Amino acid sequence: MMADQQQCARLDIQKIRADFPILGREMRSGVPLVYLDSTATSQKPVQVLEAMDRYYRRSNANIHRGLYTLAEEATVEYENARERIAAFIGAATPKEVIFTRNTTESINLVARSWGQTNLDDGDVVILTEMEHHSNLVPWQLLAAERNLRLEFISVTRDGLLDLDSYAELLKLEPKLVAFTQMSNVLGTIIPAREIIRMAHQVGANTLVDAAQSVPHIPVDVGDLGADFLAFSGHKMCGPTGIGVLYGRKKLLEAMPPFLGGGDMIKRVELRSFQSNALPYKFEAGTSAIAEAIGLGAAVDYLSGIGMKAIEQHEQEIIAYALERLEEIPGVEVFGPEAQYKGAVASFTLSEAHAHDISQILDREGIAVRAGHHCAMPLHEKFGIPATTRASFYLYNTKEEVDRLVEGIYKVKNIFA
């Protein structure tokens, strides 16, 4: 089968579900688990669990320093994972892939290293009203220190970015445009290539929060033209404690180190040091070795299935979920139509608070998220304190959507 045909093949959901041991769990109510919180963190396939277990059982040692067999094996596995991740996102070289703890740390790295070096009094940074706190607070902290001006691309009532307002903001000649590629609340898929193209026209650099996009849709940093892009392993079938910052090599080479300590140095004297080459300049201390290996296995797993096929499956699931949710009296779903969004459905129910909905659904074995989802300004924009969020991934089925709908009707009956 040709690669393109394989990418578009329909997923064998039952085969995929068999790879995720936790999906076979019965909850305390005696019903099978319906996991609908992959936007917060995804479940992990056996291939990832086994890769990490194999490292700890056979090759556990520190990397880059030891000359003995275990250390050399561990180093090779760690760096091979970096190479596969670089290929997965289309980076020009593995040197452009920096391992961090998560998306949050990646964005803070850019703010503290690139931002402190390149942004000063009165400079403009453009964000959006739908940002996760991880792409708001680092810039707010820096703005307070450097007297920066933060401006925001507005969000329309149907959950899309107002590109006319963006065009107006670009007249301010920003130094940076930082935005999410997919909203963790609305599911909105942002036209990232266009946002970046417009930013570059006025000389701005760009940072893409790809925590929600890289796990679900094909992302190629070269095609996008991104200057920086950040994502987390735990949202894409990998372990917690490992994330990635992609940065254009020229930008990364010009940036000072973010943290100081072992492995980020080439030479240290009592009163000075010389930093290491990329990517190690930004990877101080002992790395999350097993986690990087696990993320490499997750990338292999997703690549083997095909990101186009995953995207197609999720489009079918979210279209069905929106159709079913809209049948329920009193439910309001936020965000655009299915064709403009990823597999995220955030909603309110007139009869009950989001926290009550989540707790009652839990009795039915259904795991959803309730609250502001680390996007308080966006909820304030829509005039609501919280939403219930059901998010789907490659292992979810339409039958699980039906279970969710049945559970919501039970909530309505309780509060009737």
pLDDT attached to residue 6: 41
Secondary structure letter of residue 33 according to DSSP: P
Cis peptide before 279 (omega within 30 of 0): yes
Q: How confident is the model at residue 65 (pLDDT cuts 50, 70, 90)?
A: confident
Tokens matching residue 180:
């999410």
pLDDT attached to residue 251: 98
Q: Which are the contacts of 395, defined by CB distance < 8 A and separation ≥ 6?
A: 13, 16, 17, 20, 23, 35, 43
CA distances from 272 to 65, 156, 252, 268, 385 (A): 22, 52, 21, 6, 51
Residue in 159, 198, 195 with CA at minimum distance from that of residue 345: 159
DSSP string, 191-260: -HHHHHHHHHHTT-EEEEE-TTTTTTS---HHHHT-SEEEEEGGGTTS-TT-EEEEE-HHHHHHSPPSS-
Radius of gyration of the chain, Cα coordinates, nearest whole angstrom: 22
What is the rounded CA–CA span in Å between residue 340 and residue 198?
A: 20
Amino acid at 125: V
Helix (H), strand (E), coil (C) string for 66-114? CCCHHHHHHHHHHHHHHHHHHHHHCCCCHHHEEEECCHHHHHHHHHHHH
CA neighbours closer than 13 Å in the CB half-sphere of residue 215: 34
pLDDT attached to residue 1: 30
pLDDT tens-digit profile of 402-414? 999 999 999 999 9
Per the CB < 8 A criterion, the answer to whether 293 and 55 are in contact is yes
pLDDT attached to residue 3: 38
Amino acid at 275: S
**172 backbone dihedrals φ, ψ, rounded to 5°:** -80, -5
Handedness of CA 155, 158, 163, 165 (dihedral sign): negative
Q: How large is the average pLDDT for residues 387-396?
A: 98
pLDDT attached to residue 28: 83
Q: Which helix (H) or strand (E) holds 299?
A: helix 289-305
User: Whole-number mean pLDDT of the chain?
Assistant: 95
**18 backbone dihedrals φ, ψ, rounded to 5°:** -65, -20
| Domain at 49-304, CATH from 3.20.20.80, 3.40.640.10, 3.40.50.300, 3.90.79.10 | 3.40.640.10
CB-count burial class (<10 Å; 0-12, 13-18, 19+) for 244? buried
What is the rounded CA–CA span in Å between residue 288 and residue 242?
A: 7
Q: How large is the average pLDDT for residues 189-194?
A: 98
Q: Which helix (H) or strand (E) holds 145?
A: helix 137-146
Per the CB < 8 A criterion, the answer to whether 90 and 223 are in contact is yes
CA neighbours closer than 13 Å in the CB half-sphere of residue 388: 28
CA neighbours closer than 13 Å in the CB half-sphere of residue 49: 8
Q: How large is the average pLDDT for residues 385-389?
A: 97
Q: Which CATH class is domain 3-40+306-415?
A: alpha beta
Amino acid at 268: V
User: Which residues participate in catalysis according to the annotation?
Assistant: 374
What is the rounded CA–CA span in Å between residue 161 and residue 340?
A: 11
**321 backbone dihedrals φ, ψ, rounded to 5°:** -65, -45
pLDDT tens-digit profile of 46-57? 999 999 999 999
Q: Taking 80 as the threshold, does the pLDDT of residue 9 lie above it?
A: no
pLDDT tens-digit profile of 140-185? 999 999 999 999 999 999 999 999 999 999 999 999 999 999 999 9
Q: Would you kindly state where each structural domain of the chain is located, as residue ranges?
A: 3-40+306-415, 49-304
pLDDT tens-digit profile of 219-268? 999 999 999 999 999 999 999 999 999 999 999 999 999 999 888 888 98
Secondary structure letter of residue 24 according to DSSP: G
Tokens matching residue 407:
């559970």
Per the CB < 8 A criterion, the answer to whether 383 and 299 are in contact is no
What pairing do the DSSP bridges indicate for beta strands 344-349 and 331-334?
A: antiparallel
